[in-house]
A and B are shown apart, each in its own frame.
Chain A
Amino acid sequence: MLVLSGILFAIGASGVLLRCNAILVLMSVELMLNAVNIALVSTARALGDLDGQLFVFFSLSIAAAEVAVGLAIVVAIYRSLGRTDVDDIGAMHG
């Protein structure tokens, strides 16, 4: 299970780093979060401890909130720029 979680996390991380579309980046982030969730659940089972499962609930709810905010930002970017390419968003650079 930890291996599965590691593979999923790697896919998610590479997706975040390599994809241009903001929606896909968000999806990759979700993938990484869920990989972590799997790791937590599996560890909890291996140790016979409920704490890990409990923690997953927090993680899930935070992921939901994050998606809501993230999608809202993406929509806002799309409305203003007409695209959702993350490389175009650089107005805040130093």
Chain B
Amino acid sequence: MDMTAYSLLPLTLALPLAGVVLLTLFGGRLGGARSGVLATAIVGLTFLVAVAIALDFTDSVTASGSLPDGSAGIGSAEDGSTGDVAVGDHGVGDATGDHGVDESGLLGDSSSTDDQHGVVAPHIERSLWTWIRVKRSFADYELVPVTIAARDIPDLSRITPDMVAVVEVQAGTRAGPRTVREELPLMWDPEAIVGVQIFRGAITPGTILSTRVATALGADDKIFVPADLASPGFTADVSLTLDGLSLLMLLIVTGVGFLIHLFSIGYMAHDPDRRRYFTYLNLFIFSMLVLVLGGNFLMLFVGWELVGACSYLLIGFWHRDPANAWAGRKAFIVNRIGDMAFVIGLMLIWTTYGSLAFADVLPAAAGGAVTGSIAIAIPALLLIGATGKSAQLPLFVWLPDAMAGPTPVSALIHAATMVTAGVYMIARAHPLFEAAPVVLAAVAIVGAATALMAALIALVQVDIKRVLAYSTVSQLGYMFMAVGAGAYAAGVFHLMTHAFFKALLFLGAGSVMHAMEHGFAHGGAHPADGSGRESASMSDASFDPPLDAPSSASHAPASISTPDLDVDGHSEVDLGGAGASSPPRPDHFTDVPAHQDMRMMGGLLSRAPITGWTFLVGGLALAGVFPLAGFWSKDEILLETLARAGGSDGGTLWVVLYGVGLFTALLTAIYTGRQLLMVLAGAPRSTGAKNAAESPWTMTLPLVVLAVLSAVGGLVVLQTFGAPLLHLLEPVLGAHPAEGGPSKLNMALMASAASLSGLAIAYALYGARAIDPDRIATALPVAYRWLSRKLMIDELYDAVVVHPFQRLAPALWHRIDEGVLDRVVNGAGRSLIASAQAWRHVQNGRVRSYGLSIALGAVALGILLVFADRLSGVLLP
């Protein structure tokens, strides 16, 4: 294995962290603009490092087909030897020489080989240092027999690095005793022949059996190792892992992250707090890399929490508006619920498998080491954690509100990277999930339900960012459906394409908002004076159906009014407050700022052409139009879902899920088409739209790059191009041939039909006005009301969770805290004062009374001495 990638890996973490430190220490001196450039340059550099790693990695895929165990090789390298030399017996020389290192390097993460199905995954793992180590006491040692069938180690002097020992270990983890048979490369150091890397987790790397023991071994000899080695105390390594999955995530995070940094330079150009913004953004990149590169569940969890913290910080970035801070808190608290389950899951993994390292836990789980309820509990708890982070039912409520943050943050964290952590985690831990088919089915059901629900809500939103937010929730549901169906590669594939087109759409939305603000600022007539609103209200009629229900008072206290985003430094008037300017009828969306309100847009395709066209590409990719990226990945998911129905555990469940998925694809196309038409087509409906202008190049360049990626990013699964993505992922996630499934062509036609008919419906409703959408909404008032108010889920949580807590908290405060705890504490103080007041009179200042006390005390002691033997039973038991 080439060592370059291996040694560069920590650099990808060090660079963003260095960025954070630099910006924190010297950012004040640098100033906002240069801080942004520095942060962007650092992430760009990280991306280049990632690309270098990727090229190196794919080289070694082709060159090192025959590694018995990749981690063993690195483990030996860490022991000071030079590592085993991989002899590729079926490695194919066709490496990735022709992939340029450019923005489309994301596509270059491929090894264009065509007969690689049997290749063992190169899996680089590196432990940077051990973080926590809890040694157990010597008394805990017990002897566990280890049988070693020594085949090739008769004479230590003749050992060469490529010799192999067959080692059979009978050792117990807490999951029960089991026999592990492994072929071990004999390493340079003869003393390290046995014991090293046998059944990691049972015998720790570095266990050295003495030369005497090793030479004494014959066939069927038994040796004993202390139980301490068989189950070491709790250790937590800061270890990095690199395989196809984490490599792909690494490229997505750094690549998309770089583009979004670049975009932010333009977008945040007028914000006084740019330095803080870029520091957080770099910190986020670092955290996300910890998450995807971590070699054990604890590292994953640390990254998991760090990205949560960054998300909180960036949602509440404009914290001077309480609504933003509130949204940040909401995200934080909702995530805590999931994280708590996640932590409990980790503890269960530790107690069950005796380790947290992927290299220990996952093979053990795949080997069926654990069965019964614990095998269900672990993935179930992990699933709850994933629903929190990836905004699935029932913990999705924070994501739409997270749009209070700056738009590039929404693109990076709340669409492209962080929210996909749950999908990544499930794909990473899939052996655990596969041990419990019930949970796997639950994952798929949760995903499908979320996808459908979020798509329905997205149909009626008018805030450009909220449509995208619900669309993100919906697409994450697709990914969950895929991994639930066991199609991990398809889920991760959709993760990737979604990262491209959703980042594009969010950045496009940011650019649109930027353009709108520009328009409002320079258009003379500000919406506050009524003229802008007037024109909006006129055309409103077609987009916002009338309602009988009075709803102006219906906003729940906890529902967040979308904040007054102050991007340009111009104070923007919140039309929510302008609800007093008498909209023609009750409006569920009075709290949408003007520059985010799609009812105010229109005709932007001609006014901001680059933004407009790239937005169009992103939208069509989201809708799943052939041949854009979204088509391939969504098609793959639907195909795999239906393939499950034909499988052994098939049944109506998967058919139903497929139907839901297909219907959601239709809905996706409808709301996307609606959004595209409202934003881009038609005549401008406000002064802002009328005077909108194109954004600067730092904003449009990322858009163009992402548009290209969204357009062609789906092609990486095609056999025509060597299906590089699947070659990258299959060694990690397992091949998933859809055997006996429906034909691919039919499936593609179905998916295309869904998306195209969705777009057609959207055009009929909002473009050609063949049917007035008002009429539909009027015909279904209940449905419209529920959808426009997000199915009342926020209200439900308020009623069930928030309000009881808000009532409970004052009760606890006054009764328990003030009534009991405070009294106990104050009482302790008061009683001390009282006793001191009583005893101070003893200290009377008279020397002779002190003398008397001494004398009396002496007499008492004398008596005690004299009668000590008789009193001993009383005083000294």
Contact = CB atoms under 8 A, between A and B. Distances in A.
Interface string B843-857: 111111001100100
A68 to B, nearest CB: 19
A87 B848 contact: yes
A25 B843 contact: no
Interface string A9-43: 00001001110000001000000000000000000
B840 interface: yes
Nearest to A25: B847
Contacts of B846: 86-87, 90, 93
B834 interface: no
Interface residues of B, number: 13
Contact of A94 (B840, B847, B848, B851): B840
A40 B142 CA distance: 61
Interface string A57-94: 00000000000000000000000000000110111111
Contacts of A90: 844-846
A94 B842 contact: yes
Contact of B845 (A13, A25, A93): A93
A46 B846 CA distance: 40
B843 A93 contact: yes
Contacts of B844: 90, 93-94
A89 to B, nearest CB: 6
B212 interface: no
Contacts, number: 34
Given A86-B848, A87-B848, A89-B847, A13 B842 contact: no
Contacts of A16: 848, 851
Contacts of A13: 855
A12 B844 CA distance: 23
B320 interface: no
Nearest to B855: A13
Contacts of A93: 843-846
Given A86-B848, A87-B846, A87-B848, A94 B855 contact: no
A92 B845 contact: yes
Contacts of A18: 848
B465 to A, nearest CB: 72
Nearest to B845: A93
Contacts of B851: 16-17
Nearest to B844: A93
Nearest to A13: B855
B29 interface: no
Interface in B827-872: 839-848, 851-852, 855
Contacts of A87: 846-848
Contacts of A25: 847
A36 to B, nearest CB: 12
Contacts of A92: 843, 845
Contacts of A94: 839-845
A92 B849 CA distance: 14
Contacts of B840: 94
B855 A17 contact: yes
Contact of A17 (B839, B845, B852): B852
Contacts of B839: 94
A15 to B, nearest CB: 10
Nearest to A16: B851
Nearest to A22: B847
A74 to B, nearest CB: 12
B849 to A, nearest CB: 9
A89 B848 contact: no
A52 to B, nearest CB: 18
B859 to A, nearest CB: 10
Contacts of A89: 845, 847
Nearest to B858: A13
Nearest to A92: B845
B731 to A, nearest CB: 82
A25 B841 CA distance: 24
A13 B431 CA distance: 88
Contacts of B841: 94
B836 to A, nearest CB: 9
Nearest to A28: B851
A18 B852 CA distance: 10
B635 to A, nearest CB: 90
Interface string B213-244: 00000000000000000000000000000000
Nearest to A93: B845
Contacts of B842: 94
B165 to A, nearest CB: 72
B333 to A, nearest CB: 54
Nearest to B841: A94
A94 B849 CA distance: 14
A93 B845 CA distance: 4
Contacts of B845: 89-94
A94 B842 CA distance: 7
A94 B847 CA distance: 13
A83 to B, nearest CB: 14
A16 B856 CA distance: 13
Given A16-B848, A16-B851, A25-B847, 18 more contacts: A17-B848, A17-B852, A17-B855, A18-B848, A86-B846, A86-B848, A87-B846, A87-B847, A87-B848, A89-B845, A90-B846, A91-B845, A93-B844, A93-B846, A94-B839, A94-B843, A94-B844, A94-B845
28 contacts: A13-B855, A16-B848, A17-B848, A17-B851, A17-B852, A17-B855, A18-B848, A86-B846, A86-B847, A86-B848, A87-B846, A87-B847, A87-B848, A89-B845, A89-B847, A90-B844, A90-B845, A91-B845, A92-B843, A92-B845, A93-B843, A93-B844, A93-B845, A94-B839, A94-B840, A94-B841, A94-B842, A94-B844
Interface of B: 839-848, 851-852, 855
Interface of A: 13, 16-18, 25, 86-87, 89-94
The list of the 9 closest CB pairs from A to B, nearest first, reads A93-B845, A94-B843, A90-B845, A94-B840, A86-B847, A93-B844, A16-B851, A92-B845, A17-B851
